[in-house]
Structure 1
């Protein structure tokens, strides 16, 4: 190993350790300050662990502040809307790549353009539309926007992987008399499972972390997603200090972390397949 290679590896190691520390320090502060009893919070961030009141603070955030209901709402939105968006995106990708539709490149850009424009530009007309259609502050209203929001980026990932599949697979199935429906569900979907899984993880995380639509299109605790409820917790429990709010933030961060840890292999395979 020459000197240049050793220096490159050393710099890379230092860079990775620095990035790891930049991520771990806020997490450490979150844990330490979430453990402090709310009534004895000193008013400034603490760097040293004190009394172990984490469970009490999490109980207050979950039960007394009613963040638990919104937690279940977000879990429902993320799973159902993420899955629905991925299925619709897979069908759109199949149409663009496999079906003999005219101008497939144009359709690709029409669908993918949903990721280009900022979400803020849709809020005013969307709010008016929801108010007129009686969809404001309803679960159905949030589900519709979350599912539609999930389609463009999922379509991009799935379409890229579908384009790498050998054309001979499709041709052989069609020669055997397979319909387009059978071709999609029994051949392409099994081959695209890594890409579908990666797209679902992305959309699950996006829906779970959404605040913009949650505070714009809902207001009642029975409908609000968890991030919107967390902002309400910040207002309602400001007098009790940050420990309760930080405990709520800790609860909210668990699902996405678990999803990535459990499905990291599927996620990496899907990203690799989509990047080819």
Structure 2
């Protein structure tokens, strides 16, 4: 009986996820001129390529797509690198009060992002970083570090300290121990942390609309809201086609690296 209830619950959750996806695809295929003003449940034609082309041009999603790809890849990698070094310092290096440093870094995930928006906006305006790619890259990297640090630190705590002790006895320095021993052993955790941060940066809207306005600087989620504001001229099928464009990178990333992601999450949860 318990197994049946679990299967029914899981099937219901899958159905709740598939229905909106089905509506998204069906209505993105509908020609914009033939859209009746309400969601279509059956295929009314195939105008996906036209809708994608319009979405790419109307809101400048093409430029924003490239910008978001740059932000997600570069900032994700930088955040994971900084987080790995910080986790190594907290777990492996003989620093005083490691618990204090852990909570100091991890506290970045505990406060709502909205409380930083006003100070960030003022700071960026004064420093001429507003509406610049480097400004967004700085804040995205800093924003992504705390959670990546949490994941990587959890995996580091599962590694036996004898590894470090043996390397020190052999004359290895701490940087060499980090790059030659711990980084290879943490590949799965580093990969999982990167996937998390890539997804977080890619899906960001709040920082994007607060700290940028130009189409070639704004992240793709902000461009999608611009397309949504053009509702009357573009039409829902075009907006949904834009949503398909925005959804593709994170879906492809997870499908390609799902094995690495699961291994990394498992290693960090031990």
TM range (shorter): over 0.9
Q: What does residue 140 of structure 2 align with?
A: 146
**Contact 2:131/2:212, CA 8 A, preserved across alignment:** yes
Q: Is 1:120 equivalent to 2:114 in the alignment?
A: yes
Give the alignment's TM-score, normalised by structure 1.
0.96
The alpha-carbon deviation at position 9 of structure 1 amounts to: 1.6
Say which SS state the counterpart of residue 238 (structure 1) adopts: helix
Q: Is 1:68 equivalent to 2:62 in the alignment?
A: yes
* Number of aligned positions between the proteins: 270
Say which SS state the counterpart of residue 37 (structure 2) adopts: coil
Which of 224, 234, 238 pairs up with 2:232?
238
The alpha-carbon deviation at position 240 of structure 1 amounts to: 3.0
Which of 177, 184, 194 pairs up with 2:188?
194
**Contact 2:58/2:227, CA 8 A, preserved across alignment:** no
Q: Is 1:24 equivalent to 2:18 in the alignment?
A: yes
Q: What does residue 46 of structure 2 align with?
A: 52
Range with greater deviation from structure 2 (37-46 or 198-207): 37-46
Give the alignment's TM-score, normalised by structure 2.
0.99
Q: What does residue 132 of structure 1 align with?
A: 126
Tell me, which stretches of 5 or more residues in structure 2 are unaligned? none
**Contact 2:67/2:218, CA 8 A, preserved across alignment:** yes
Q: What does residue 156 of structure 1 align with?
A: 150
Q: Distance in 1 between matches of 2:37 and 2:71?
A: 36
Q: Distance in 1 between matches of 2:148 and 2:116?
A: 20
The alpha-carbon deviation at position 222 of structure 1 amounts to: 1.1
The alpha-carbon deviation at position 254 of structure 1 amounts to: 0.4
The alpha-carbon deviation at position 16 of structure 1 amounts to: 1.0
The alpha-carbon deviation at position 11 of structure 1 amounts to: 1.2
The alpha-carbon deviation at position 10 of structure 1 amounts to: 1.2
Q: What does residue 12 of structure 1 align with?
A: 6
Q: Distance in 1 between matches of 2:101 and 2:205?
A: 30
Q: Distance in 2 between matches of 1:113 and 1:66?
A: 36
Q: Distance in 1 between matches of 2:232 and 2:156?
A: 50
Say which SS state the counterpart of residue 99 (structure 2) adopts: helix
The alpha-carbon deviation at position 40 of structure 1 amounts to: 1.6
User: What CA RMSD, in Å, does the superposition of the two structures yield over aligned residues?
Assistant: 0.8
Tell me, which stretches of 5 or more residues in structure 1 are unaligned? 1-6
Which of 101, 104, 110 pairs up with 1:110?
104
The alpha-carbon deviation at position 66 of structure 1 amounts to: 1.9
The alpha-carbon deviation at position 109 of structure 1 amounts to: 0.2
**Contact 2:67/2:219, CA 8 A, preserved across alignment:** yes
Q: Is 1:219 equivalent to 2:213 in the alignment?
A: yes
Say which SS state the counterpart of residue 177 (structure 1) adopts: coil
The alpha-carbon deviation at position 236 of structure 1 amounts to: 2.3
